[in-house]
């Protein structure tokens, strides 16, 4: 594989607005329930109440998540029809002609990247906006982020530019699938495993 | 002392029945999406049905045209709309500009990007309709445009003849405000005002639902609206303090104040403190410290900090002496008894005899006294400090005093009129001086407070200058008999106490005629007598003025991207046709088409802005930025700071009136409801349904506020599937309060008081202070058969009761109870 592509996410800038999610839905015309990008709100902590006064010791941050086009793409590994496959550029994609909608890939992916589209009866997922990139444009989510919190590119370049952190709660340990993802953590981010917080908007992800 | 463990845990990992590997954190909680997928709704013509994808797949040529999102968030974003076969198939953000302050790319927020769904929603109004049966009963008869125009013109003429022009009211509405021709706010420059001005005018209102109390505050404190330094000027400050200001959520544009705040903070690293009952996105994103307090107690917090400053001599006595009236006993107007200065108030030497110690403030605000002392010292000794306030602190029963207290903190620390300082108002911004020859003059001078229109319907002639804040006349002569409601939802949903408001509207012997002009069947549209289907801004040509964007000035030419669908028409055409029937078409149109007006206004603007492109150039480029932005957007009162004698303020003393002479007089002469007070000083006031009352009441012990939500701009963009999926309507509550009531995250709950009841999911979150709940404002009121609002509108819970000075909407002063549904 020549060049592997991935996403960069600056968590310090994310407001949880989901412009990325809606830009993706508008670009790809996705029905309700199919969200190639989703945003989780993660947080925790406690309040101290003393008489009439209170003081917070709390934290919160956001995690936007699409497909990480993993080196170890478990979705492709488990696909019984080879519909889910990794292309030359590392982009993991679905071959509509081969997909039977069995949803194994969805079950296997720890990021919920492959999503079942009930209208087509097939799996669907982020392809890093292949058509946009072909026209020299950024993927829709990257171009839309009001905070400029998203970037994409060859993962080597992203890691050189932004570092190699990806092990941030509530994500799974990167060792599981080797995601092509780089994160600049929010000041309150917790590492994978040491997490004391929880996802606060479970119905939205 | 109790330490409460908080965060709720998400349990039901796979409600859709899809089993997942549970050892992975993300997938353990990510079942919701699948659950939704299996329950996908039929969308018909909505986006999501494959239109965009099919257009792209067939390689069809897509035409890309510039339009804009023109709603009332304070921002304004250009949009690139891709069109195929006369339909918008995709909405793209701005891709011009750069990432420098002053020339930034103006990326639309989550709502603007969902514009397409708002265009093609099934609840678009399609044809003129007339009410059948009871007002609000939901039965309609489709009528022709000719009949609609005739009946409206007849009603206008009849009501003018019977009651006079003062009986016709233009209700507050901000659904389309950045355009120039299709513009619903400010009321005086709307096409409806222009129409009514050709036949003798209409009843005015003053202030607005966003800023009623702070407008009352600035009038007496500074002599008028000034604005604060723009947010990009925070880079000149050593410390930024934001009282209830939340630009990262309320002005979400990626070229507006969200981006300006983030970029400024990124570049300057200015230490930032956010004071807010909620851990807002601004607190999460740009703050070093979050100070939660009870809603309606900012003035008490300021007094507590001011007490520290005076006690320790940390305040700027020199500035106060030269620029302010009423800080201490040596700087009071004549004939005012001793003990009425702010220092006297702080030190317990005033009429109430209570010293405003940090401990006093702590018990009111909830902020620990040692925190108040530390904040006071930091704010007083860090120079310069940029203090601003959002519009939440003022949207209270004591809102004018809240706002004035924050202004006073800025004066005490000497930060007014300097780079990196402020007036303590909300951020100002640079704006292009666009001309508006389309505006016309209202011959009627009488004006009511914006929030008092329901009173004016109910008991107009009882309202006077001193009992109801009537301006331009001693009293109201007639009640409101006709309402024009153009692109607004304050007829019901955005007003207080929706159930009471509906009851008032249902009696059509009071207000006899309601004309609603809108694009969708909103909650307010349900109460029309005649309902006119409007074209959206992307369906007509208009010149679009900029939003608040730090030091950047810009203009957009919004194309007619597609034709108006169904039988929709532009508001300009509607008003022209009604004017024709009233015999004033020439006065209304001046012989111009909408495009001719746009060209005329652009040409007129080019006189003051020579660089502004021509019509043809702007049409092609979409958005134009002033190539020479000021280094900072706005630093008000520099001249006053330098020489207060030479550049006095328009107050009676010419100074900043910490003690307001006018308010002192009004406190004597105005008739107020039992318990309400006007004070010459920015004192903390305990009010009806305030935080003190909350702690005394067993029935409604929770303070309810209504934050601005990402799903909607007020109520605009409500009721759209993609946005409801992304940002569902929820009520925020603290785990302490949830635990007491046996409520877990995502449980369905009912929030209620004597005025109404709503049902919605709970967001149990550490991000809100104990004792406080927040129902994001703007959700569409949707009563079920029992009258429970399952849409979850906060105004089902709020009241009509007004603030004492400017008679403003006190919608954050509301007490409620919550139970599991």
Q: How confident is the model at residue B61 (pLDDT cuts 50, 70, 90)?
A: confident
Q: What is the mean pLDDT of residues A38-56?
A: 97
Cα-flanking dihedrals φ and ψ of residue B756, to 5°?
A: 175, 180
Statement: residue A98 has pLDDT above 60: yes
Statement: residue B786 has pLDDT above 90: yes
Q: Residue B768 carries which DSSP code?
A: B
pLDDT at residue B634, as a whole number: 85
- Judged by CB atoms closer than 8 Å, whether chains meet at A200 and B763 is answered as yes
Closest CB to A26 among B52, B725, B767: B52
Q: Which of B216, B298, B307, B323 is nearest to B657 (CA)?
A: B323
CA nearest to B280 within chain A: A15
Cβ atoms of residues B491 and B508 within 8 Å: no
pLDDT digits (tens, 9 = 90+) for B112-163: 999 999 999 999 999 999 999 999 999 999 999 999 999 999 999 999 999 9
Let me know whether B813 and B664 are in one domain: no
Q: How many CB atoms lie within 10 A of CB B313?
A: 8
Question: When comparing pLDDT for A179 and B58, which is higher?
Answer: A179
**Burial of residue B630 (number of CB atoms within 10 Å: 0-12, 13-18, 19+):** middle
CA nearest to A193 within chain B: B25
Q: How confident is the model at residue A28 (pLDDT cuts 50, 70, 90)?
A: very high
Helices and strands, number each (H, E), in chain B: 28, 27
3-state secondary structure of B383: coil
Least confident of A167-176, B59-68, B404-413, B756-765: B59-68
**Burial of residue B664 (number of CB atoms within 10 Å: 0-12, 13-18, 19+):** buried
pLDDT at residue B501, as a whole number: 98
Residues spanned by the domain of A96? 5-43+56-204
Let me know whether B661 and B716 are in one domain: no
pLDDT digits (tens, 9 = 90+) for B583-640: 999 999 999 999 999 999 999 999 999 999 999 999 999 999 999 888 877 899 999 9
What does the block give as tokens for B779?
């959700």
- Judged by CB atoms closer than 8 Å, whether chains meet at B368 and A53 is answered as yes
Q: How many CB atoms lie within 10 A of CB B456?
A: 27
Test mutation, A9, A11, A33, chain B, max B CBs within 10 A = A33
Let me know whether B394 and B261 are in one domain: yes
Cβ atoms of residues A151 and A142 within 8 Å: yes
B204 assigned to some structural domain: no
CA nearest to A124 within chain B: B37
Average pLDDT, chain A: 96
**Three-class DSSP labels, B559-584:** CCCCCCCCCCECHHHHHHHHHHHHCC
**Burial of residue B205 (number of CB atoms within 10 Å: 0-12, 13-18, 19+):** buried
B589 assigned to some structural domain: no
Statement: residue B379 has pLDDT above 60: yes
A50 assigned to some structural domain: no
What does the block give as tokens for B630?
């000021």
pLDDT digits (tens, 9 = 90+) for B201-240: 999 999 999 999 999 999 999 999 999 999 999 999 999 9
A15 assigned to some structural domain: yes
- B803/B399 Cα distance (integer angstroms): 7
B49 assigned to some structural domain: no
Closest CB to B258 among A40, A103, A147: A147
Q: How confident is the model at residue B59 (pLDDT cuts 50, 70, 90)?
A: low
- Judged by CB atoms closer than 8 Å, whether chains meet at B366 and A26 is answered as no
Cβ atoms of residues B253 and B76 within 8 Å: yes
Q: What is the mean pLDDT of residues B268-295?
A: 98
3-state secondary structure of B744: coil
Q: What is the mean pLDDT of residues B362-388?
A: 98
Domain boundary among B669, B700, B721: B669
Specify the number of domains making up chain A. 1
Q: How confident is the model at residue B492 (pLDDT cuts 50, 70, 90)?
A: very high
- Judged by CB atoms closer than 8 Å, whether chains meet at B50 and A48 is answered as no
A121 assigned to some structural domain: yes
Let me know whether B799 and B659 are in one domain: no
Let me know whether B663 and B762 are in one domain: no
- Judged by CB atoms closer than 8 Å, whether chains meet at A145 and B254 is answered as yes
**Three-class DSSP labels, B68-119:** EECCCCCCCEEEEEEEECCEEEEEEECCCCECCCCCECCCCCCCHHHHHHHH
Dihedral sign computed on CA atoms, order A118, A119, A125, A126: negative
Test mutation, A19, A167, A190, chain B, max B CBs within 10 A = A19
Q: Going edge to edge, which strands form the sheet with B542-545?
A: B542-545, B554-558, B623-625
Cβ atoms of residues B297 and B684 within 8 Å: yes
Let me know whether B662 and B705 are in one domain: no
pLDDT digits (tens, 9 = 90+) for B26-44: 433 332 222 222 222 222 3
A132 assigned to some structural domain: yes
pLDDT at residue A1, as a whole number: 52
Q: Which of B465, B624, B459 is nearest to B553 (CA)?
A: B624
- A70/A143 Cα distance (integer angstroms): 22
Q: How confident is the model at residue A3 (pLDDT cuts 50, 70, 90)?
A: confident
Residue given tokens 């020339």 in the structure block: B103
- Judged by CB atoms closer than 8 Å, whether chains meet at A205 and B30 is answered as yes
pLDDT at residue B60, as a whole number: 63
Length of chain A: 205
B800 assigned to some structural domain: yes
- B183/B194 Cα distance (integer angstroms): 11
pLDDT at residue B593, as a whole number: 98
**Strand pairing class (B271-275; B239-243):** parallel
Specify the number of domains making up chain B. 3
B724 assigned to some structural domain: yes
pLDDT-above-90 percentage for chain B: 92
What does the block give as tokens for B49?
């049905």
pLDDT at residue A89, as a whole number: 87
**Strand pairing class (A150-154; A5-10):** antiparallel
Closest CB to B25 among A33, A119, A172: A172
- B76/B546 Cα distance (integer angstroms): 6
- Judged by CB atoms closer than 8 Å, whether chains meet at B767 and A143 is answered as no
Q: How confident is the model at residue B18 (pLDDT cuts 50, 70, 90)?
A: very low
**Burial of residue B55 (number of CB atoms within 10 Å: 0-12, 13-18, 19+):** buried
pLDDT at residue A194, as a whole number: 74
Q: What is the mean pLDDT of residues B408-430?
A: 97
pLDDT digits (tens, 9 = 90+) for B253-277: 999 999 999 999 999 999 999 999 9
- Judged by CB atoms closer than 8 Å, whether chains meet at A22 and B367 is answered as no
pLDDT at residue A193, as a whole number: 82
Cβ atoms of residues A205 and A40 within 8 Å: yes
A49 assigned to some structural domain: no
**Burial of residue B162 (number of CB atoms within 10 Å: 0-12, 13-18, 19+):** exposed
Q: What is the mean pLDDT of residues A8-37?
A: 98
Q: Which of B139, B207, B67 is nearest to B490 (CA)?
A: B207
Q: What is the mean pLDDT of residues B461-474?
A: 98
pLDDT digits (tens, 9 = 90+) for A139-165: 999 999 999 999 999 999 999 999 999
Statement: residue A2 has pLDDT above 90: no
- B117/B720 Cα distance (integer angstroms): 7
Q: Looking at CA atoms only, how far is residue B771 from chain A in angstroms?
A: 10
3-state secondary structure of B630: coil
Q: How many CB atoms lie within 10 A of CB B326?
A: 29
pLDDT digits (tens, 9 = 90+) for B742-759: 999 999 999 999 999 999
CA nearest to B88 within chain A: A26
- The full DSSP string for A45-113 is EEEEEETTEEEEEEEEEEEEE-----TT-HHHHH-TTS-EEE-TTS-EEE-TTT-----HHHHH-TT--
Q: How many CB atoms lie within 10 A of CB B63?
A: 9
Q: Which of B235, B224, B231, B270 is nearest to B250 (CA)?
A: B231
The separation between CA B462 and the C-alpha centre of its own chain, rounded to angstroms, equals 29
- B681/A113 Cα distance (integer angstroms): 58
- A146/B264 Cα distance (integer angstroms): 15
Q: Is the peptide bond before B700 cis (omega within 30 degrees of 0)?
A: no
- Judged by CB atoms closer than 8 Å, whether chains meet at A60 and B279 is answered as yes
- A35/B722 Cα distance (integer angstroms): 10
- B186/A179 Cα distance (integer angstroms): 51
Q: Residue B270 carries which DSSP code?
A: -
Domain of residue B326, CATH code? 3.40.228.10
Q: What is the mean pLDDT of residues B776-782?
A: 98
Test mutation, A43, A47, A107, A120, chain B, max B CBs within 10 A = A47
Let me know whether B263 and B318 are in one domain: yes
A51 assigned to some structural domain: no
Domain of residue A86, CATH code? 3.30.70.20
pTM score, two decimals? 0.94
Cβ atoms of residues B561 and B67 within 8 Å: yes
pLDDT at residue B303, as a whole number: 99
What does the block give as tokens for B718?
């409500």
Cα-flanking dihedrals φ and ψ of residue A175, to 5°?
A: -65, -15
Average pLDDT, chain B: 93
Let me know whether B302 and B350 are in one domain: yes
- The full DSSP string for A137-201 is PPPHHHHH-TT--EEEEEHHHHHHHH-----BTTSPPTTTT---EEEE--TT--BTTS---EES-
What does the block give as tokens for B333?
């107007």
pLDDT at residue B630, as a whole number: 86
Please give the ipTM for the structure prediction.
Answer: 0.98
Let me know whether B374 and B253 are in one domain: yes
Length of chain B: 821
Phi-psi region of A82 (alpha: psi -120 to 50; beta: other; left: phi over 0): left
- B301/B292 Cα distance (integer angstroms): 11
Let me know whether B235 and B342 are in one domain: yes
- Judged by CB atoms closer than 8 Å, whether chains meet at B290 and A201 is answered as no
Let me know whether B662 and B733 are in one domain: no
Q: How confident is the model at residue B701 (pLDDT cuts 50, 70, 90)?
A: very high
Q: How confident is the model at residue B1 (pLDDT cuts 50, 70, 90)?
A: very low
- B671/B111 Cα distance (integer angstroms): 44
Let me know whether B663 and B752 are in one domain: no
B25 assigned to some structural domain: yes
3-state secondary structure of B688: coil
CA nearest to A196 within chain B: B7
**Strand pairing class (B731-733; B772-774):** antiparallel
pLDDT at residue A114, as a whole number: 97
| CB neighbour burial string for B369-391, b if at least 16 within 10 angstroms, e if fewer | bebbbebbebbbebebbbbbbbb
Q: Looking at CA atoms only, how far is residue B751 from chain A in angstroms?
A: 20
- Judged by CB atoms closer than 8 Å, whether chains meet at B10 and A202 is answered as yes
Domain of residue B790, CATH code? 2.40.40.20
Residues spanned by the domain of B17? 1-40
Q: Which of B1, B24, B4, B27 is nearest to B14 (CA)?
A: B27
pLDDT at residue B9, as a whole number: 29
B705 assigned to some structural domain: yes
């Amino acid at each position: 594989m020549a060049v592997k592509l991935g996403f960069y996410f600056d968590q310090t800038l994310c407001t949880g607005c989901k412009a990325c999610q809606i830009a993706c839905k508008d670009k790809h015309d996705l029905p309700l329930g199919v969200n190639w990008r989703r945003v989780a709100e993660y947080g925790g902590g406690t309040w101290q109440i003393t008489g009439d006064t209170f003081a917070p010791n709390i934290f919160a941050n956001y995690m936007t998540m699409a497909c990480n086009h993993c080196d170890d793409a478990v979705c492709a590994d488990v696909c019984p029809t080879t519909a889910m496959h990794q292309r030359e550029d590392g982009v993991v994609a679905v071959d509509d002609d081969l997909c039977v909608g069995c949803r194994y890939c969805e079950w296997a992916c720890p990021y919920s990247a492959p999503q079942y589209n009930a209208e087509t009866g097939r799996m669907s997922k982020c392809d890093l906006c292949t058509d946009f990139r072909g026209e020299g444009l950024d993927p829709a989510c990257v171009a839309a982020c009001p905070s400029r919190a998203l970037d994409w590119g060859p993962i080597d370049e992203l890691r050189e530019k932004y570092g190699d952190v990806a092990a941030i709660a509530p994500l799974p340990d990167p060792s599981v699938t080797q995601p092509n993802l780089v994160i600049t953590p929010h000041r309150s981010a917790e590492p994978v495993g040491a997490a004391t917080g929880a996802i606060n908007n479970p119905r939205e992800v | 002392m109790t330490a409460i463990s908080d965060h709720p845990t998400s349990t039901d990992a796979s409600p859709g029945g899809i089993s997942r590997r549970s050892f992975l954190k993300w997938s353990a909680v990510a079942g919701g999406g699948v659950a939704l997928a299996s329950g996908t709704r039929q969308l018909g013509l909505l986006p999501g049905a494959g239109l965009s994808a099919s257009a792209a797949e067939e390689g069809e040529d897509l035409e890309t045209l510039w339009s804009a999102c023109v709603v009332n968030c304070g921002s304004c974003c250009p949009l690139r709309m891709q069109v195929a076969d006369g339909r918008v198939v995709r909405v793209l953000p701005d891709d011009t500009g750069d990432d420098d302050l002053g020339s930034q790319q103006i990326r639309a927020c989550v709502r603007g990007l969902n514009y397409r769904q708002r265009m093609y929603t099934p609840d678009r109004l399609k044809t003129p309709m007339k009410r059948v049966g009871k007002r609000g009963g939901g039965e309609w008869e489709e009528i022709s445009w000719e009949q609609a125009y005739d009946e409206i013109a007849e009603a206008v003429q009849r009501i003018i003849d019977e009651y006079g022009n003062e009986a016709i009211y233009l209700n507050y509405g901000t659904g389309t405000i950045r355009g120039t021709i299709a513009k619903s706010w400010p009321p005086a420059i709307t096409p409806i005002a222009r129409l009514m001005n050709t036949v003798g005018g209409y009843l005015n209102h003053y202030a607005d639902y966003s800023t009623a109390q702070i407008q009352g505050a600035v009038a007496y404190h500074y002599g008028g609206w000034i604005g604060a330094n723009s947010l990009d000027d925070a880079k000149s400050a050593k410390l930024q303090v934001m009282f209830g200001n939340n630009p990262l959520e309320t002005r979400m544009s990626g070229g507006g104040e969200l981006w300006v705040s983030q970029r400024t903070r990124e570049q300057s690293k200015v230490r930032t403190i956010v004071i807010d009952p909620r851990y807002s996105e601004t607190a999460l994103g740009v703050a070093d410290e979050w100070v939660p307090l009870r809603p309606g107690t900012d003035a008490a917090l300021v007094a507590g900090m001011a007490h520290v400053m005076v006690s320790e001599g940390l305040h700027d006595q020199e500035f106060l002496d030269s620029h302010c009236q009423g800080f201490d006993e040596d700087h009071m107007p004549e004939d005012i008894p001793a003990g009425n200065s702010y220092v006297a108030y702080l030190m317990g030497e005033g009429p109430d005899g209570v010293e405003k110690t940090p401990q006093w403030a702590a018990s009111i605000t909830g902020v620990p006294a040692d925190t108040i002392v530390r904040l006071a010292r930091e704010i007083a000794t860090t120079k310069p400090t940029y203090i601003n306030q959002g519009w939440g602190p003022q949207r209270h029963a004591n809102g004018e005093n809240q706002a004035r207290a924050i202004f006073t903190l800025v004066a005490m620390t000497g930060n007014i009129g300097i780079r990196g300082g402020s007036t303590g108002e909300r951020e100002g911004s640079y704006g292009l001086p666009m001309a508006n020859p389309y505006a016309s003059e209202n011959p009627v001078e009488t004006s009511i407070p914006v929030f008092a229109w329901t009173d004016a319907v109910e008991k107009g002639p009882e309202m006077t200058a001193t009992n109801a804040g009537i301006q331009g006349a001693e009293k109201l002569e007639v009640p409101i008999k006709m309402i024009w409601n153009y692109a607004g939802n304050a007829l019901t949903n955005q007003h207080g106490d929706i159930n009471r408001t509906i009851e008032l509207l249902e009696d059509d012997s009071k207000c006899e005629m309601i004309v609603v002009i809108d694009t969708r069947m909103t909650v307010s549209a349900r109460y029309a007598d005649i309902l006119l289907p409007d074209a959206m801004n992307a369906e007509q040509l208009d010149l679009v003025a900029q939003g608040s964007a730090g030091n950047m000035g810009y203009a957009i030419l919004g194309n007619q991207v597609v034709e108006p669908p169904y039988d929709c028409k532009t508001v300009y055409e509607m008003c022209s046709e009604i004017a024709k029937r009233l015999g004033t078409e020439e006065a209304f149109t001046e012989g111009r088409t909408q495009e001719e007006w746009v060209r005329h206004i652009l040409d007129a603007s080019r006189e003051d802005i020579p660089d502004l492109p021509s019509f043809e150039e702007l049409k092609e480029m979409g958005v134009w930025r002033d190539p020479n932005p000021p280094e900072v957007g706005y630093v008000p009162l520099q001249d006053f700071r330098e020489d207060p004698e030479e550049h006095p303020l328009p107050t009676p003393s010419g100074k900043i009136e910490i003690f307001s002479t006018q308010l002192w007089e009004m406190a004597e002469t105005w008739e107020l409801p039992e318990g309400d007070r006007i004070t010459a000083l920015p004192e903390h006031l305990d009010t009806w349904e305030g935080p003190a009352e909350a702690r005394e009441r067993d029935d409604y012990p929770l303070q309810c506020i209504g934050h601005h939500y990402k799903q909607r701009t007020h109520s605009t963009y409500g009721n759209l599937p993609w946005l409801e999926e992304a940002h569902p309507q929820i009520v925020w509550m603290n785990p302490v309060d949830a635990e007491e009531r046996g409520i877990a995250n995502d449980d369905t709950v009912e929030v209620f008081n004597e005025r109404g009841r709503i049902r919605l999911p709970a967001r149990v979150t550490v991000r809100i202070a104990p004792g406080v709940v927040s129902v994001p404002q703007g959700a569409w009121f949707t009563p079920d058969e029992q009258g429970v609002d399952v849409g979850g509108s906060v105004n089902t819970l709020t009241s009509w009761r007004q603030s004492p000075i400017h008679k403003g909407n006190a919608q954050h002063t509301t007490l409620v109870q919550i139970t599991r549904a």
